[in-house]
Amino acid sequence: MFIQFESYLDAPAIFRYDFLLENDTLAGQRGELRADDYETEQVWYESKDGVRVSMFLTHKKGMQRDGNNPTLLTATAAIPFL
């Protein structure tokens, strides 16, 4: 069985689970971040056409959101099934 895992604090990783043998990490690297040091909050912004857009911000606890912090922005798009 293959399992892909990722979270706001962990880069994507692929694991192989063999029910009879040992388990392996095939790709990816587990980070050494302590989840207790971070928080995730959902915020909403309005786009140019008036649509409300949801974003999740994950950052160190206590970080000031004043525009002076480096930011990595990623996005995923929902594609409807036809």
Residue 30 lies in a domain: yes
Residue 17 lies in a domain: yes
23 has a pLDDT exceeding 80: no
Residue 67 lies in a domain: no
pLDDT digits (tens, 9 = 90+) for 50-65: 888 888 888 889 888 8
Residue 10 lies in a domain: yes
Range of the domain at 37: 2-60
Mean pLDDT of 39-59: 87
Domain count, the chain: 1
Residue 39 lies in a domain: yes
Q: pTM score, two decimals? A: 0.52
Mean pLDDT of 44-54: 87
Residue with tokens 């690297």: 29
Residues 6+ apart with CB under 8 A from 27: 12, 13, 14
Residue 65 lies in a domain: no
Q: How high is the pLDDT of residue 60?
A: 87
Residue 73 lies in a domain: no
Rounded mean pLDDT of the chain? 78
Do residues 56 and 8 lie in contact, with contact meaning Cβ atoms separated by under 8 Å? yes
Residue 71 lies in a domain: no
Q: How high is the pLDDT of residue 14?
A: 83
Closest CA to 6 of 81, 74, 80: 74
Q: Collapsing DSSP states into helix, strand and coil, what is residue 69?
A: coil
